[in-house]
Structure 1
Amino acid sequence: MPDTSPFANPGPELWSLLGWSPDAGQLRQLIQLQQLLQDWNSRVNLTRLVQGEDFWIAQVLDSLWPLLPELMSPDTPRRCIDVGTGGGFPGLAVAIALPGAELTLVDSVGRKTAAVAAMAKSLGLGDRVLVRTERVERTGHEQSCRGTFDLAMARAVGAAPVVAEYLVPLLRRSGEALLYRGRWNDADETELQSALQLLKARSLTLQRMELPSKRGARTLIRIGPEAETPRTYPRATGMPSKMPLGVQDDDSRS
């Protein structure tokens, strides 16, 4: 049966919910991105979210709603990084929506980064999108990346303290990290604040959104540095996820 949902295609309902709408060129790029993702996904397992609502709500809307402040000034030069980009989200959607931005997309899986780089080139974004195939723990210590980004973002990568350890070292002093989360509770907040103390960073804002078509609750936490991130962070590969900052129990320290 054909999908009759108003969100199965990029119509006015979608953009009204977002509070922003693409121009004609950006809309063509987003439609082409869906087509490219479907094609690449038939060869490389990137994501199951490629059709109808899966793409327009769970990929495009979910990628862009946290960036509404930036969408109001899309041509402003910004240096952005998407950590754990997977099939290219939120990074490729952000690159389309913010034509003034330069994007670095990081993932450790080579088959995914090859597909994402090819999609970026096909979309005409090759001059603004750099794809790196490496663990983000390494990225955070690279001279060309550490302390250089205006926006650092991660979606569906790990627990909040883990993601904070990945992102905060990448920020310039005036930069912001965007943590894409689902539901958020007091325990989550306590763990994140413990991690931020160690990273010398602080929470700036917390926003919530309920995605349409029962796609679930979303939370966006913006984080900013208070001082230079200690050189210890991010720790060695695998350590942030194995022993998240601020939430280690006695067993994990033994």
Structure 2
Amino acid sequence: MSAHDPIQSQLLAGLAELGLDPAAADALRRYLDLLARWNQTYNLTAIRDPAEMVSKHLLDSLSIATEFDQQRLVDIGSGAGLPGIPLALACPHLRVTMVESAGKKARFMREAVRQLDLGARVDVVEGRAEALDRPGQYDRLSARALGTLTQLLDLGGHLLQPGGLLLAMKGKYPDDELAALPSGYRLLDSRPLAVPGLIGERHLLRIEKLG
């Protein structure tokens, strides 16, 4: 990529601010280009501007990258592969399963996995998370903008092993949702998220599945 490419510069600055390896920037840019191209035909995301995609999609997804080492992550309602694909590109030891019921979005994710050579660590499941028959097979569960904490756990909680964590990315701190947390789960901890280029509250809540 050109050193004078503003999108690449934005990506590199964001990765630096998040404390992530800049080596991921080229692959992230390839994913962004693919997303922008498919989006023209398949309407995968309402965001059209690539610069806006960098902050609202890529860097927002990567704001939780420091949570991962060698875990198995299941991401439900993945849409166009967010946060699963950016996380897989930035975390080379992470294994990711992305679950999406919309056929056009699942097709895009499979093509992105193929083009980015992620097939050894990333798989795409076309279907509904609550129907996925892989009980207790994952250490981490994530979802972006899919529903309340209770809804996320109803859909994907069975996929977590005991001691596994739901990594819930929220805007304002969800006191009401935490008060309604189903039995068998507890809030382990929470922290504010700073997403480069985004203004507004963001929080990461780590919800533990009890044994």
Alignment TM-score, normalising by the size of structure 2: 0.89
Instruction: Indicate which of 72, 83, 94 corresponds to 1:90.
Output: 83
Distance 1:166 1:221 in 2: 17
Q: Deviations over 1:173-193 (max 9, x none)?
A: 23211111111243232123x
Displacement after TM superposition at 1:90 (Å): 0.3
**Is contact 2:191-2:205 (8 Å) kept?**
yes
Q: Partners of 2:130 and 2:186 in 1: how far apart?
A: 21
One of 160, 167, 171 as aligned partner of 2:156: 167
Shift of 1:22: 3.0
Describe the shift of the 1:208–1:32 C-alpha distance in structure 2 as closer, same or farther (beyond 3 A).
Answer: same
Q: Which of 79, 83, 106 in structure 1 is aligned with 2:99?
A: 106
Cα distance in 2, alignment partners of residues 163 and 221 from structure 1: 13
Q: Which runs of 5+ in 2 are unaligned?
A: 1-5
Aligned to 1:150: 139
Q: 3-state DSSP class of the match of 1:9?
A: helix
Bigger mean CA offset, 118-127 vs 204-213: 204-213
Aligned equivalents of 2:115 and 2:77: distance in 1? 21
Where does residue 232 of structure 1 map in the other structure? Answer: none
Contact kept in structure 2, 1:107 and 1:135, CA below 8 Å: yes
Corresponding residue number in structure 2 for 1:10: 11
CA–CA separation in structure 2 for the residues paired with 1:175 and 1:68: 16
The answer to which structure, 1 or 2, has the higher relative contact order (CA under 8 A, 6+ apart) is 2
* In structure 1, distance between residues paired with 2:43 and 2:107: 12
- Normalising by structure 1, report the TM-score: 0.75
CA distance in 2, matches of 1:6, 1:65: 18
Q: Is 1:49 matched up with 2:50? A: no
In 2 relative to 1, CA 7–50 (structure 1 residues): closer, same or farther, beyond 3 Å? farther
- Alpha-carbon deviations, 1:174-228, whole Å to 9, x = none? 3211111111243232123xx2x1xx1211111112445453211111111112x
CA distance in 2, matches of 1:7, 1:57: 12
State the percentage of identical aligned residues.
Answer: 29
Give the 4+ runs in structure 1 shifted more than 4 A.
Answer: 5-8
**C-alpha separation between the residues in 2 aligned to 1:16 and 1:188?**
33
In the TM superposition, what is the alpha-carbon distance from 1:9 to its structure 2 partner? 2.2
Contact 1:120 1:129 survives alignment (8 Å): yes
Matched AA of 2:190 = L
Query: Alignment RMSD, CA only?
Result: 2.2
| Partner SS for 1:43 | helix
Gapped regions of structure 1 (runs ≥ 5): 228-254
Q: Indicate whether 1:122 and 2:115 are aligned.
A: yes
Question: Superposition pairs for residues 1-254 of structure 1, below 5 Å?
Answer: 9-12=10-13, 14-23=14-23, 26-70=24-68, 73=69, 76=70, 78-139=71-132, 142=133, 145-192=134-181, 195=182, 197=183, 200-227=184-211
| Letter of the 1:168 counterpart | G
Question: Quick one: structure 1 residues 52 and 38, their matched pair in 2 at CA, closer, same or farther if it must change by over 3 Å?
Answer: closer
Count of residue correspondences? 207
Shift of 1:66: 1.9
Is the radius of gyration larger for structure 1 or structure 2?
1
Structure 1 Cα separation of the partners of residues 20 and 188 of structure 2: 23
SS of residue matched to 1:11? helix
